[in-house]
Amino acid sequence: MIEIYRKRVFCADLQIGQEVSEVFCVARVQRRAGRNGYFLTLEFVDRSGRIPGVAWDEVDRLTEVLVEGAYARVGGRVTDFRGEPQIQVLNAAPAPPTVEPSDYLPSGPAPPERSMAGIHRLAESIADAGLRSLVRAFLGDPDFARRFAAAPAAKVHHHAYVGGLVEHTLSVMELCEQVARHYADLDRDLLLAGAFCHDLGKIRELAVEPGFPYTEEGQLAGHIVLGYQMVLDRAREIGLSPERMLDLGHLVLSHQGELEWGSPVEPRTLEALVLHFLDNLDSKIAAARPFLDEVDHGRTAYVRSLGRALFRRGAGGAKAEGEERSAPPRAG
Amino acid sequence: MIEIYRKRVFCADLQIGQEVSEVFCVARVQRRAGRNGYFLTLEFVDRSGRIPGVAWDEVDRLTEVLVEGAYARVGGRVTDFRGEPQIQVLNAAPAPPTVEPSDYLPSGPAPPERSMAGIHRLAESIADAGLRSLVRAFLGDPDFARRFAAAPAAKVHHHAYVGGLVEHTLSVMELCEQVARHYADLDRDLLLAGAFCHDLGKIRELAVEPGFPYTEEGQLAGHIVLGYQMVLDRAREIGLSPERMLDLGHLVLSHQGELEWGSPVEPRTLEALVLHFLDNLDSKIAAARPFLDEVDHGRTAYVRSLGRALFRRGAGGAKAEGEERSAPPRAG
Amino acid sequence: MIEIYRKRVFCADLQIGQEVSEVFCVARVQRRAGRNGYFLTLEFVDRSGRIPGVAWDEVDRLTEVLVEGAYARVGGRVTDFRGEPQIQVLNAAPAPPTVEPSDYLPSGPAPPERSMAGIHRLAESIADAGLRSLVRAFLGDPDFARRFAAAPAAKVHHHAYVGGLVEHTLSVMELCEQVARHYADLDRDLLLAGAFCHDLGKIRELAVEPGFPYTEEGQLAGHIVLGYQMVLDRAREIGLSPERMLDLGHLVLSHQGELEWGSPVEPRTLEALVLHFLDNLDSKIAAARPFLDEVDHGRTAYVRSLGRALFRRGAGGAKAEGEERSAPPRAG
Amino acid sequence: MIEIYRKRVFCADLQIGQEVSEVFCVARVQRRAGRNGYFLTLEFVDRSGRIPGVAWDEVDRLTEVLVEGAYARVGGRVTDFRGEPQIQVLNAAPAPPTVEPSDYLPSGPAPPERSMAGIHRLAESIADAGLRSLVRAFLGDPDFARRFAAAPAAKVHHHAYVGGLVEHTLSVMELCEQVARHYADLDRDLLLAGAFCHDLGKIRELAVEPGFPYTEEGQLAGHIVLGYQMVLDRAREIGLSPERMLDLGHLVLSHQGELEWGSPVEPRTLEALVLHFLDNLDSKIAAARPFLDEVDHGRTAYVRSLGRALFRRGAGGAKAEGEERSAPPRAG
Amino acid sequence: MIEIYRKRVFCADLQIGQEVSEVFCVARVQRRAGRNGYFLTLEFVDRSGRIPGVAWDEVDRLTEVLVEGAYARVGGRVTDFRGEPQIQVLNAAPAPPTVEPSDYLPSGPAPPERSMAGIHRLAESIADAGLRSLVRAFLGDPDFARRFAAAPAAKVHHHAYVGGLVEHTLSVMELCEQVARHYADLDRDLLLAGAFCHDLGKIRELAVEPGFPYTEEGQLAGHIVLGYQMVLDRAREIGLSPERMLDLGHLVLSHQGELEWGSPVEPRTLEALVLHFLDNLDSKIAAARPFLDEVDHGRTAYVRSLGRALFRRGAGGAKAEGEERSAPPRAG
Amino acid sequence: MIEIYRKRVFCADLQIGQEVSEVFCVARVQRRAGRNGYFLTLEFVDRSGRIPGVAWDEVDRLTEVLVEGAYARVGGRVTDFRGEPQIQVLNAAPAPPTVEPSDYLPSGPAPPERSMAGIHRLAESIADAGLRSLVRAFLGDPDFARRFAAAPAAKVHHHAYVGGLVEHTLSVMELCEQVARHYADLDRDLLLAGAFCHDLGKIRELAVEPGFPYTEEGQLAGHIVLGYQMVLDRAREIGLSPERMLDLGHLVLSHQGELEWGSPVEPRTLEALVLHFLDNLDSKIAAARPFLDEVDHGRTAYVRSLGRALFRRGAGGAKAEGEERSAPPRAG
């Protein structure tokens, strides 16, 4: 029986001065000309993050093993590169036949299966036969379902882990369901189907590989157009009416809300407005949460995707700091 | 018994050539120098809209009656002013002692009382004693309650009618309640109290008078600061803790979401983010709806507050037009 | 033999006070409630422009004939509506069986056939078999070719006439050919095919009907996505390689150059950069030219799509005005 | 002795229906093709404003007299054009040999001579010999001095009248003198000379003709570059040192403060920062004042150059309206 | 008698490799999980700046002394952290009972007392009894006066030192006085009182502690709203008329000039326009000056708050470099 | 005979720990106060890039040799400064009498002479006598020709090497010639002369010295105004007509296309529009190319001047990676 190899040393743990012999995924290899022949600049990656590398000797032999996207056992020493640790590679060997993917990819707080179950449940609640067939066609395609459950919802800012896409999709579907109950004139079925479809293109935009790199079509077409295309192909398959397809496609195309955020059209229907706002809300909440979790009370680190630091009021913090600095309701 | 005078002729009905003798509210009076002495340019208003006016003769006598903000019976003829109707005023008399305010102010689809009842119900569901006291203190103040129930939520773009503010406030509170159930880590009480308070300043920013003119403090301080001030004064009255006041005040101050939309601080807590998104959603939906209601199917007029025209798919429209123009899922 | 009916009276010629009996295309019909029953507000259109209309009487009978998109013989009087002429409709009858479409649609300076011939010639110069097949597949489809030759390149700003799309497409292809000769590392075939495809979606975005109205899919998906879809469908048909399709699709998707101008991705390849600049150049030149043609010398009217007025130096103007106002190379 | 002709009827006084026979300046003439031969669209101008015109008959004879920039006695009737008055021209004759320029150009509140005297006084207070010579060289050139004293400071927004440029220039010089006293490290002489020079280019950008039209070089080079050129030519004439010229030129080039406001470089020295702020302050105050002067108390009309309406507290207004609407310092 | 402890070693002097035993203020303490138990990341601060720290051992004992906001004697070695010095803490002890605050807070060029004296003098020159009382009420409150004199005017960009707020306030008051003399229609008293009040909220926004951290209410309400609140509370105390309060409050609220710079309303009165421009001028001059002081002649470092580098012409520099590089007034 | 000294060690090669004794150009010297007297912070430069330096001892003696802009033989050791190499200077001596300039300045792919020849050829093709004389006057001035051939086209983003300006100028002239053939109504002579002149100011904006520093007039006036001035001076010299000068000057002033990109006027003529687009195209292509050259296939590094990474499809890459990641034309 083939044993699965589990890592013990991760990128984020490496410190200058340390000897290293561990399996990493090779994210980048560049052969560059120095004064005394070629050398390699490298990047290694695992679920904890990234570390740069360099190799000065035996470049030809090393490049047989250090191939972009491959796994390799890397031996060497952690040295100082502009104040940050890097691996100075002394030798490299092919990785053991089976590595554990989860050692190289971050995972989220909840298992994707739970999110998938919630999505199935809400999909079945769609009353419109055409739209329900469409969503079922996706979910019933095992290849799609596997990729859907594995994908992250974004490369960096929110839900950037395996299972992130289904977690985000379910959350937006649930919000849409609630809001459809609040505004009686919304087309609940269209909104739910749109929430299901809105980020499908992410499974083709980002590769589920260490570092979640952009695919070629992710760079050249983008998840909005790719997702629209996926929906259109399924719609033709199941014979969805042109009007339904058009309205659903509009939800996918306009969900970023503004042209400068990458949507080629702005929301022009009530359902498109609602989907945009709820997708935005869920993304922002998810982007904010890890920063808030880092502090007990007070100011967080700067949240790049929001353009500001946030504030968390902790249970105890209110008392400790309140008197001194914040007694606002009295004049200066 | 004094009989209430009811209008029969409204601004929106006047046509060039028509004789007129009716009561209007005088929204603007300007005395201007012409070549042959002074003349008046005027603006009259009622619940249907506005109409300009002019008076060439007996200016001194007319200005005793035609006073800004007053009601007056205006006699004259509708003439053509740059292609639009205007009233050429020939005589003016004081209005009957009692006019019907609703003849001069637009009203919304639902009675304010119903919105107030919903707000009371949600207010009582606030578990936190301090925040509940605060909201109760507002609702229990008869003068406040009267002005709150009468105010519009905006001058033009959404809920711009008597009772609009409570309708919008209730809707945002309901959305907040749902979303607080969705995200377990939100402080439901703070969010509900924030939704209640967020637009309170509108009752001082806009006068509940024909045309909903900005008050002086509306122009010079704005509803966000005025509302913050109102909340702070109540908070001192009931002894709310400084921390609660600060967090609640932050929700009021940041609810517009961006500095350039008039908030002096951006949302920095989860609750502030949520309130901003849901307030924005409800306003945009309310701004869009009347434009969508105007068409059975197809493109609406341009919605200035959204910066685009919208689209409505009508029940019949789908069939009638679908074949011809929109068969999208086939190649060109 | 059925005789084709030719118009003699056009919208742009109508003057207040005139009697009218002529065939127009009905662009808009709205039934509105007045104080004394319903009335109609209308819009009529032909190749010279638009004119509003109104009908106060016999509304039910008129609406049988005055249907949106239909042609009708309209009888009535030109009256003054807010300073502009409008047709007060007194009677309406079905149009003669055959109207001449060119009476209702503006045409450009050159016949579409000439542009089509140029496009054919450049298409045949594409060396790459796959890309040449793709372009041939479009041009060899008679239905496509007919719609392509008839479409305008834009609703308002440039080439807004029948044949405008092929005129613009040919011009961009010619510019691309020249620039591909200048920069040796450009992929000439890809660039030419991209220039051919970049605005194809216009034939589905705009209806070739009086006024060039947006289609439903034009409003909800937009010409960039529609064009991408058309290219993708043809590519599947002829078996274009995935890489070629991706690169060509990228040219279509990114040709507007910036997200805020409606492209869902920005140009990421040399060819995409070049296509964007040359498309932009040709559109701007075409937008500017009619404004420059209007003046012999000096400042033009304001060009909305450029955000400024332009300047034309006329042959004689240089002398006439030069001495007085512009002697720049001397100190003040 | 030739008598100067004085106007009695001005554009702003003309009303629909009136007969007219008066001298105007011809601001624009366009010959256009109608269905029955050519007609003329015209624009007439005098110190009170503008009025459009039209001529249907005897076009050839009229165009001998109605020449752009010329004065002509115009006979005809004031008719309704899209709700606005226009002159329907029936005949035209050359104007009397001498018209009074001030009948055709607006003048400001103070005589230009007074502003010029102030400028002379401050110019003489410049201690640096080179800079003083430069300013003297301008002021001692009679042709320059005449044009400087006559020019407006802007076409529309502020000081848009004869003498406006010297009034604005003096005001900015005075402000600079005060601020140079406040910040001891400022180079007072450089700042004063820069204030003198900053808008000199206006005398070549705008023609001192009815309507203050842009000159050709105003359109193609703009007042900043023209003014820089004027200063550079004078600097060469008097032999100013290259360093002084460069620093002074920088003040002229950067005084608009931001690239998007038309300065090709941003302020990079303390003096350039100060000049920009004080020029901006004086322009904004001057733009605001006429709007504030129009109201006794309350909101002004919308000030386009500021992007908002302003507010004026009148002497009496405070009492009259205060109680009702603005009692701000009490809770809601 | 307790002796005050004076520091001899400051953050800015520490070099990698050095042994250290000195008192610092502890600005930040974070307990983090490493592979072998917890460790601490720290930040120490004094008047010269900041330095990061780390502690690997005896974490529990150290955290009794190393408390955020406390002073502590820190022993250890300066090591290399990503190319920058950091203190590797080996031991820590409570600081001596009395440290000298000025060792930990930067001070400005002039003593706060001198600025306070100038403010008192100008305050007494306010003729309006109500406004004078208001300013006196602030200045006569010893607690306020102490905090006012100690506060910085900003965290980073200008006057970021003890006494910076009164220095900036006095400068803006002086500028306002001069400009009020220049424009006769300004309300001098209102303008002076507004200049006094405009930044009062800074004393609650920023803590006068090492590093000038934002307070909670600084983060959640901001200095504009806090200052408005302080003025309103005083106004109620002394019975200022509602109109005066409103106009003065408007100056505080609008002084940043644009919504996107954090003012909830834009300047709508002449006085508000003037205050905004002069506050902006003084801040920018103060932000620029230290950068200019750093160079004798030529280009400064990049000034982040201005978005560009500045230029200083030095006394000698003009000659040395002029000939070679800048001989501008000759053609190329 | 004096031998020219050639460098063997370049900035980009230096590694921490290495001893160094080599000639560098001194780009920056700053004397700063430390705790134990003054020390120097330095920057050295050669054609390969920059390296910082520091000198702790014998500061007075060193500053006699280490002068900004001079060449010096520098002896010392490469040490670690914040993770980057720096030279710790131990001694310095004057450089050998003749250094090889090309050791200190980057050069481009083609010799400037070849570009100059192309420019001469196109210049002679200008039919208009005045414009041809103007261009000849520039090219016939040996001092100008030498500086023109040596200048870079930009400091960083494109053609940032000796000869870059003529390479870019020729490319834009060639593009203009082609486009002038395409659009028959363009003034070819004006366009070619404009392309020749558009960036002339670069020879005064940037010094052809190691690092291409901005000159003083480059900082204070900028290349657009400097180039306009150069053209104007030549135009006066050869007696070009004011109209031609104005039109040509407009091309120089407006070639950046937008005010916020530094042009004081926007393009207002057809030729100005064309020049702007083609200059922009050539700059962007030149900025992109080195980034594309760095990769065989796939995503490039981030291109700052374009605001995005680019993509290059390599010959082999299409196959290798296509199957896996990019199979786009199939549904998800």
Give the closest residue to B27 by CA, choosing from B213, B217, B154: B213
Tell me the sheet residues that pair with D26: D44
What is the per-residue pLDDT for D120?
98
Count of CB pairs separated by less than 8 Å, E with F: 48
Residues of C in contact with D221 (CB under 8 A): 328
Chains in contact with C via at least 3 Cβ–Cβ pairs below 8 Å: A, B, D, F
For residue A327, the model assigns a pLDDT of 32
Q: Does E310 touch chain A (CB under 8 A)?
A: no
For the cut 70, the answer to whether the pLDDT of residue C82 exceeds it is no
Q: What is the pLDDT of residues C21-80, one digit of tens each?
A: 999 999 888 777 655 567 888 999 888 878 989 888 888 899 889 988 889 999 999 887
In this prediction, residue D256 has a pLDDT band, given cuts at 50, 70 and 90, of very high
Percent of chain E with pLDDT over 70: 92
Mean pLDDT of E277-293: 94
Chain E touches chain C, with at least 3 Cβ pairs below 8 Å, answer: no
Count other C-beta atoms under 10 Å from residue A6's C-beta. 11
pLDDT of D34-72, one tens digit each? Answer: 555 678 889 998 888 789 898 888 888 998 999 888 899
* Cβ–Cβ gap F229/E328 under 8 Å: yes
Chain F residues with CB under 8 Å of E299 CB are 214, 219
B302: left (phi over 0), alpha (psi -120 to 50) or beta: beta
Q: Are B311 and B325 in contact (CB under 8 A)?
A: no
With an 8 Å Cβ cutoff, are E225 and B253 in contact? yes
Question: Nearest CA to CA, how far is A259 from chain C (Å)?
Answer: 5
Chain E contact for A330 (CB, 8 A cutoff): yes
The ipTM of this complex is 0.84
Instruction: Say what the pLDDT of residue D276 is.
Output: 98
Q: pLDDT by residue (tens digit) across A152-206? A: 999 878 888 999 999 999 999 999 999 999 999 999 999 999 999 999 999 999 9
Which of chain F's residues have a Cβ under 8 Å away from the Cβ of A83?
82-83
Q: Which residues fall within 8 angstroms of residue E36, CB to CB, at 6 or more apart?
A: none
Q: Which residue in F80, F299, F325 is closest to A207 by CB distance?
A: F325
pLDDT score recorded for residue A173? 98
Mean pLDDT of chain C: 88
Contact E84 F82 (CB under 8 A): yes
Q: Which of C115, C210, C118 is nearest to C163 (CA)?
A: C115
Chain centroid to CA C171: how far? 15
Residue whose token pair is 């010629």: C13
CB-closest option in C83, C144, C219 to B299 = C219
Are E267 and E247 in contact by the 8 Å Cβ rule? The answer is no
CA distance A16 to D255: 53
Q: Assess whether pLDDT exceeds 80 at residue F81.
A: no
The terminus-to-terminus CA distance of chain E in angstroms comes to 75
In this structure, chain C runs to a length of 332
Q: Looking at the predicted structure, is the pLDDT value of residue C175 above 60?
A: yes
Using a pLDDT cut of 90, give the percent of chain E over it: 61
A322 neighbourhood in chain E, CB within 8 Å: 216
Give the pLDDT band (50/70/90) at residue E331.
Answer: very low
Measured between beta carbons, the chain C residues lying within 8 angstroms of A268 are 219-220
Task: Note which residues in 121-140 of chain D have CB less than 8 A from chain C.
Answer: 138
- What's the gap in Å between the CA of A252 and the closest CA on chain C? 10
B176 vs E109, higher pLDDT? B176
The mean-pLDDT minimum among B321-325, D95-99, D149-153, E40-44 falls in B321-325
Note whether E325 contacts F217, CB cutoff 8 Å. Answer: yes
Where b means 16+ CB within 10 Å and e means fewer, B87-99 reads bebbebeebeeeb
Asked if residue B330 has pLDDT above 50, the reply is no
CA distance E202 to chain B (A): 14
- Mutation pick from D204, D214, D216, D232 vs chain C, by most beta carbons of C within 10 Å, is D216
Residues of A in contact with F316 (CB under 8 A): none
Task: Out of B184-193, E101-110, F125-134, pick the least confident.
Answer: E101-110
Q: Indicate the residue of D81, D204, D214 with minimum beta-carbon distance to C332.
A: D204
Distance from CA of E217 to the nearest CA of A (A): 5
Mean pLDDT for chain B overall: 88
D311/B219 touch (CB, cutoff 8 Å), yes or no: yes
Nearest CA to C284 out of A149, D20, F272 is that of F272
| Global pTM value | 0.88
Please determine, for residue E47, whether its predicted confidence score (pLDDT) is greater than 50.
Answer: yes
Cβ contact F277–C280 (<8 Å): yes
For residues F35 and A253, which has the higher predicted lDDT (pLDDT)? A253
Report the pLDDT value the prediction gives residue E82, as an integer from 0 to 100.
61
Q: Is the pLDDT of residue E81 over 80?
A: no
Q: Answer whether residue A31 shows pLDDT above 90.
A: no
Q: In this predicted structure, what is the pLDDT of residue A319?
A: 35
Quote the minimal CA–CA distance from D84 to chain B in Å: 5
Q: Which chains have at least 3 CB atom pairs separated by less than 8 Å from chain A? A: B, C, E, F
Question: What pLDDT sits at residue A82?
Answer: 61
- Distance CA(D210)–CA(D224), nearest Å, equals 23
Q: Do A321 and E35 touch (CB under 8 A)?
A: no
Mean per-residue pLDDT, F34-61: 82
Whether B311 has its CB under 8 Å from any CB of chain C: the answer is yes
* Residue for token pair 């009638």: B320
**Tens-digit pLDDT profile for residues B109-136:** 889 999 999 999 999 999 999 999 999 9
Contact E264 B264 (CB under 8 A): yes
Q: How far apart are the CA of B285 and the nearest CA of chain C, in angstroms?
A: 18
Contact between C162 and C150 (Cβ < 8 Å): yes
CA gap A153, B112 in Å, rounded: 43
Nearest chain C residue to B297 by CA distance is C216
Q: Residues 237-296, chain F: which have Cβ within 8 Å of E?
A: 237
Residue E259 and residue E219 in contact, taking contact as beta carbons nearer than 8 Å: no
Mean local confidence (pLDDT), A116-139: 98
Residues 207-226 of B with CB under 8 A from E: 216-217, 219-222, 224-225
**Interchain pair A311, E220: CB under 8 A:** yes
Contact exists between E and F (3 or more beta carbon pairs < 8 Å): yes
* CA atoms of E195 and E255, how far apart (whole Å): 9
Distance CA F189, CA F195 (A): 10
**Contact between chains at F250 and D222 (C-beta distance less than 8 A):** no
Q: What is the mean pLDDT of chain A?
A: 88
**Higher confidence at residue C93 or residue D332?**
C93
Alpha-carbon span D303 to A47, nearest angstrom: 58
Give the nearest partner residue to B220 out of E221, E225, E249, using CB atoms.
E249
Q: Do B216 and D298 touch (CB under 8 A)?
A: yes
Cα of D27 to nearest chain C Cα, Å: 13
Among B81, B83, B56, B55, smallest CA distance to B72 is for B55
Q: Which residues 1-20 of C are in CB contact (within 8 Å) with D?
A: 13
* In the predicted structure, residue A329 carries a pLDDT above the cut 60: no
**Cβ-Cβ contacts under 8 Å, F235 against chain C:** 329
Q: Chains B vs D: touching, with 3+ CB pairs under 8 Å?
A: yes
Q: With bands split at pLDDT 50, 70 and 90, how would you rate the model's confidence at F30?
A: confident
In chain C, residues 157-186 whose CB comes closer than 8 Å to chain D = none
**What is the DSSP secondary structure assignment for residue E156, as one 8-state letter?**
S
Tell me the CA distances in angstroms from F293 to A291, B141, F300, one per residue in order. 39, 73, 9
Rounded to the nearest 10 degrees, the angle between the axes of helix F270-293 and helix C270-293 is 180
DSSP code string of D187-243: -HHHHHHHHHHTTTTHHHHB-SSTT-PBPHHHHHT-HHHHHHHHHHHHHHHHT--HH
Region E265-278: mean pLDDT is 98
pLDDT at A2: 65
| In the block, residue with structure tokens 């009686």 | A184
Q: What are B150-171's pLDDT values in tens digits?
A: 999 998 788 889 999 999 999 9
- In this predicted structure, which of B256-265, D13-22, D32-41 has the lowest mean pLDDT? D32-41
- In this prediction, residue B277 carries a pLDDT of 97
CB–CB of B216 and D332 under 8 A? no
Q: Do E326 and D277 touch (CB under 8 A)?
A: no
Q: Which is more confidently placed, F140 or C299? A: F140
Q: Name the pLDDT band for C1 (thresholds 50, 70, 90).
A: low
pLDDT band at D293 (very low <50, low <70, confident <90, very high): confident
- Chain C contacts of F273, Cβ < 8 Å? 281, 284-285, 288
Q: Is it the case that chain A and chain D have 3 or more CB pairs lying under 8 Å apart?
A: no
